[in-house]
Amino acid sequence: MIQSLTSEQIAIVLEANLTGKADGPLVSQIVIDSRNILQPENALFVALKGAKFDGHDFIEEIHALGVNVFLVSTHYKIPSKISKSAIFIQVEDTKQALQKLAAYQRHLFQGPLIGITGSNGKTIIKEWLGQILGQQYAVAKSPKSYNSQVGVPLSVFGIEAGHQLAIMEAGISRPQEMEKLANILKPQLGIFANIGTAHEEGFDSMEQKLAEKAKLFESCRFIIYRKEHAKIGQHLISVFESEKLVSWSDGIGADYVLTVKKEEDKSKILLIRPDMSVFTFHVPFTDEASLENIRHVITAALTLGMDPKLIQEGLNHLKAVDMRLTLKPGVNQSLIIDDTYNNDLAGLRLALDFMAAQRPKKRKILIISDLLQIGDISQVYEEVQKLLNYHNIDFLIGVGEDIGSLQGRLGFGSQFYRDTEELLRNLDLEFFDNDLILVTGARKFGFEAIVNLLQQRIHGTTLEINLNALTHNYNFFKTKLLPQTKVMVMVKAFAYGGGAAEIANHLQQLKADYLAVAYTDEGVALRKEGIRLPIMVLNPVQESFIHLQQYDLEPVVYSPPFFRELAKFCHVQQTVMKVHLDLDTGMHRLGFEEQHIADLLELIQKYPQLQIGSLYTHLVGADEEIHHDFTVGQLKLFMSMADEIVSKLDYVPLRHALNSAGIIRFPEYQLDMVRLGIGLYGVEVSGRFDSHLKPISTLKTTISQIKSLSKGDTIGYSRKGVMDQAGRIATIAIGYADGYDRRFSNGKGYVLIHGKKAPVIGNVCMDMAMIDISGLDEIKEGDEVVIYGPTISLKELAERIGTIPYELLTNISSRVKRVYYLD
């Protein structure tokens, strides 16, 4: 924070009531959850109410960590236990108060603030501009993509007294949000990166979206935009004075002309300035998105008066960066967190948080370079040391001069190297064994080489899982439910192909209430991976009873004979087991039928060893309107069967009936719990809220070889593929053994390369498939191929071969590596 404040000062800023003990501490850190509270005595905890949980519920827990100052809602009833020992600042709306406090801190910052908005590239522009300007100024920037109603205030608190310049991004998803962010940030220089043409939920029209985003710039002296984005230009010209607008363009007619000449793997950018002076920049990439982003950066640096030579100096160190924190399988059962693009404390904090959220492994190992952090070096590394202790790091490998200052000061094992090469020469892969390894380094240290070495050899095909999208989908379904309704998430079949352990762990973070798997083995595997949530097993078999007991799993019981078997087992073992009763109301798969109820009630009386945790039924056609009446019939029958059972019990089990489609179509039957499946994985089967869910997985492979063929040549087994004219084909590293369905053969399926469609030609083979790339001249061997993902809809692919998205998802072979990331 720029200036520490007393609780009294904060109360004045917020025009809030203050209760609790007098002369409290100075507040220098604002926190919204229990992570990373390094100096609890100087922290202010802001209790925010979110879709997932309510910060007010954690106040006592956080007070126990040593935090004494709380910003709470006036509706919060202060527990008498802590009313004397803590200070409470009470406001109507804690999120608004957080924003107000950020606006106050922002006013205390003297240096220029650069605000970036747009649909794509905000984070990249911010990072690159930070690197270029960082050569001359102490730059504060928002960590990763902190650009929301809460992220922006937190970013502002990250500005410290020594910073000379700040770069912040602002993102919105509905009207009225930008005004709030603009009020906090009050940028002097604005960059309007671009505007996506896609319809964004939350906005009625393109014009509305544009007008909303442009509100960020009301305080700006200069606003940068690209002339080719005509709609942006038109809008800015109609709203702002022309002296404020700084345009750049590929061609003439803008303030800055920045023309691109692409070469093999780099590009030249020819600059013509308003005074007609010229300069040539060299950048290490050729793709359109990077070239647009970098030209925004160059224009901003020029507008701030930076010398082109110094800008080029900074460009020499740029790379097309992957900003994501990625979780990858590594050598000897280790997991690697790849953060090879981090250079400051804020980034390190985020990466350590991400590390803390992973399932436990044998050791926590940190491989870290010098931080490119301004200010007093010894203070910076003191802070690093505190962070490492707080996160219980077991071993540290440090690279660089500055980080070497930690040598001899850590209470755990460590190694230090002068540079990355020295480390690579000395790295012993056998040292790692079932560890969690965070690799975090500033770009110039080239830590990618370390990650490459530590990674398990990944064959061409990977399934990437976006954990943010998973969170998004989970929260979307939460908004369809009452706050008290519990959510059981179906992670059967390897979490619909996504990888059960990682997804279950993420759900545990999201505070899901229950998990469900199909077989006992799946539940055992989750327990061995450290998953603690209650787990229901849909189809336990008798041989696995002992495992149910050992691993605290809760079986589904579906028939009187099965009830008897399990009850006898518990009787012999002298144990009690929580079970769930499946009531068959029309699925006719497993389950008690109406005629079994009398038997069932007798069994329940006779065997108190089985405690009924819940009663449920499964809907057969919740996604389809034509089955509406049948579904309602199922639900009514379930209610009456459940009532009959519950009336004979002296305790009340949970009741649940809805799957993903059911949540959408029959929310009035959410009862005590719902069972979320396919929707979490990004497919909205009822079709009503398609655009609200985000696909969570992308299946990718690479091109192994390209061949030029003549008219009449045939391709693959049985000569099914025929070239009807001369052209090129590519062989890709995926086949039906990986889960690429053989029914995609002969043009039924297609893939995307550089965003372009290429149809399958010939029969899909076991480990490979061939695609027709005639006419797509820029494609070369080694290029990435998208099988499905955000840009190819699973529903459409499934329809092409007459199946359902469920089957495509769950067919991905376990030999395909899963990689998880946060974007």
Ligand X SMILES: *Cc1c(COP(=O)(O)O)cnc(C)c1O
**Residues that are catalytic:** 492, 717
Residues 21-50 that bind ligand X (CB under 6 A): none
CB of 489 to ligand X, least distance (A): 9
Q: Which stretch binds ligand X (CB under 6 A): 181-189, 355-363, 375-383, 677-685?
A: 677-685
Q: How many CA atoms lie within 13 A of 747 on its CB side?
A: 4
- Residue 466 or 660: the one with the smaller Cβ distance to ligand X is 660
CA 202, distance to chain mean position in Å, is 20
Alpha carbon separation from 522 to 495, 526, 539, 621, 727 (Å, rounded): 10, 6, 11, 27, 47
Q: Quote the least distance from Cβ 201 to ligand X, whole Å.
A: 22
What region does 802 belong to: left with phi over 0, alpha with psi -120 to 50, or beta? left
Question: Which residues ranging from 592 to 621 are in contact with ligand X (CB under 6 A)?
Answer: 618
- The stretch near ligand X (CB under 6 A) out of 345-353, 384-392, 504-512, 653-661 is 653-661
Beta carbons within 10 angstroms of residue 690's beta carbon: 13
The answer to whether 589 is annotated as binding is yes
Q: What is each CA distance from 508 to 474, 553, 673, 772, in whole angstroms? A: 12, 16, 16, 44
Q: Supply the minimum distance, in Å, between the C-beta of residue 516 and ligand X.
A: 7
697 binds ligand X (CB under 6 A): no
- Which of 437, 538, 610, 664: binder of ligand X (CB under 6 A)? 538
| Residue ranges in 465-494 that form contacts with ligand X under rule CB under 6 A | 490
Least Å distance between CB 618 and ligand X?
4
- For residues 396 to 425, the per-residue mask of contacts with ligand X, x marking binding by CB under 6 A and - elsewhere, is ------------------------------
660 in contact with ligand X (CB under 6 A): yes
Question: Which of residues 121, 314, 400, 677 is near ligand X by CB under 6 A?
Answer: 677
Cα–Cα distance between 179 and 213 in angstroms, integer?
9
Q: Which of 209, 296, 506, 675 binds ligand X (CB under 6 A)?
A: 675
The structure tokens listed for 728 are 């090129």
Interface segment toward ligand X; rule CB under 6 A; list 181-189, 208-216, 395-403, 656-664: 656-664
CA dist 289 → 124, 263, 295 (Å)? 10, 16, 10
- C-beta closer to ligand X: residue 371 or 537: 537
Backbone angles phi, psi at 631, to 5 degrees: -60, -45
Question: Residue 673 or 787: which CB sits closer to ligand X?
Answer: 673
What stretches of 304-395 show up as alpha helix (H) in DSSP?
Answer: 308-315, 345-356, 377-390
Distance in angstroms (rounded) separating the CA atoms of residues 317 and 284: 9
CA–CA distance, 370 with 445 (Å, rounded to integer): 9
Distance (Å, rounded) from C-alpha 185 to C-alpha 170? Answer: 9
Question: Is the C-alpha dihedral spanning 588, 593, 596, 600 positive or negative?
Answer: positive
List of residues 6+ apart from 180 with CB closer than 8 A? 99, 149
Q: Select 455 or 539, whichever has its Cβ closest to ligand X.
A: 539
Stretch that binds ligand X, among 15-23, 88-96, 670-678, 715-723 (CB under 6 A): 670-678
Nearer to ligand X among residue 535 and residue 570 (C-beta): 535
- 147 binds ligand X, rule: CB under 6 A: no
Nearest CB to ligand X, comparing residues 297 and 538: 538
Q: Is 17 exposed, middle or buried (0-12, 13-18, 19+ CB in 10 A)?
A: exposed
Cβ distance to ligand X smaller for residue 119 or 810: 810
Segment holding 114, helix H or strand E: strand 113-117
Task: In angstroms, give the least distance from the CB of 498 to ligand X.
Answer: 12
352 versus 661: smaller Cβ distance to ligand X: 661
Contact between 678 and ligand X by CB under 6 A: the answer reads: yes
Beta carbon of residue 812, minimum distance to ligand X (angstroms, whole number): 16
DSSP letters for 637-666: HHHHHHHHHHHT-SS--EEE---HHHHHH-
Q: CA 295, CA 118: separation in Å to the nearest integer? A: 15
The token pair at 186 is 């009050």
DSSP 8-state secondary structure symbol assigned to residue 456: P
Question: Contact at 8 Å (CB) between 226 and 247?
Answer: yes
How many CB atoms are closer than 10 A to CB 314?
21
Task: Compare residues 514 and 545 and give the one whose CB is closer to ligand X.
Answer: 514
Q: Name which of 339 and 554 has its Cβ closer to ligand X.
A: 554
Nearer to ligand X, 324 or 618 (CB): 618
Query: Of all residues in this chain, which one has the CB nearest to ligand X in the complex?
Result: 677
Long-range contacts, 353-360 (Cβ 8 Å, 24+): 353/35, 353/36, 354/325, 354/822, 355/391, 355/436, 355/438, 356/35, 356/391, 357/505, 357/506, 357/509, 358/327, 358/436, 358/505, 359/501, 359/502, 359/505, 359/529, 359/530, 359/531, 360/436, 360/530
The answer to whether 766 is annotated as binding is yes
Q: Helices (DSSP H) in 58-215: which residue ranges? A: 59-64, 80-83, 94-108, 122-133, 151-157, 177-185, 206-214
Alpha-carbon distance of 104 to 185, in angstroms, equals: 10
Pair of tokens at residue 579? 């079970």
Q: Considering only the stretches 177-185, 336-344, 500-508, 654-662, report the one whose residues sit in contact with ligand X under the rule CB under 6 A.
A: 654-662
Q: How far is the CB of 523 from ligand X (least distance, A)?
A: 14
At closest approach, how far in Å is the CB of 693 from ligand X? 12
Task: Decide: 813 and 493 in contact? Cβ < 8 Å.
Answer: no
Helix, strand and coil in the chain, % to nearest 5 = 35, 25, 40
CB of 240 to ligand X, least distance (A): 49
Binding mask 107-136 for ligand X (x = CB under 6 A): ------------------------------
Minimal distance, residue 802 CB to ligand X, in Å: 19
**Shortest approach of ligand X to residue 677 CB, angstroms?**
2
> Interacting stretch for ligand X, rule CB under 6 A, among 431-439, 545-553, 655-663, 794-802?
655-663
Q: Applying CB under 6 A, what is the total number of residues that bind ligand X?
A: 11
C-beta closer to ligand X: residue 495 or 709: 495
List CB contacts of 61: < 8 A, sequence separation 6 or more: 34
Which 267-296 positions form the footprint of ligand X (CB under 6 A)?
none
Among the candidate windows 229-237, 499-507, 671-679, 729-737, which touches ligand X by CB under 6 A?
Answer: 671-679
* Helix residue spans in 219-275 (DSSP H): 230-239
Stretch that binds ligand X, among 463-471, 521-529, 672-680, 729-737 (CB under 6 A): 672-680
Residue 232: count of CB within 10 angstroms of its CB: 22
Per CB under 6 A, 659 contacts ligand X: yes
Asked if 805 is part of the footprint of ligand X (rule: CB under 6 A), the reply reads: no
Taking CB under 6 A as the criterion, which residues in 551-590 touch ligand X? Answer: none
CB of 490 to ligand X, least distance (A): 4
Q: Could you say whether residue 443 binds ligand X (CB under 6 A)?
A: no
Binding residues: 589, 766
Binding residues for substrate: 589, 766
Residues lying near ligand X in the complex (CB under 6 A): 490, 538, 618, 659-661, 675-679
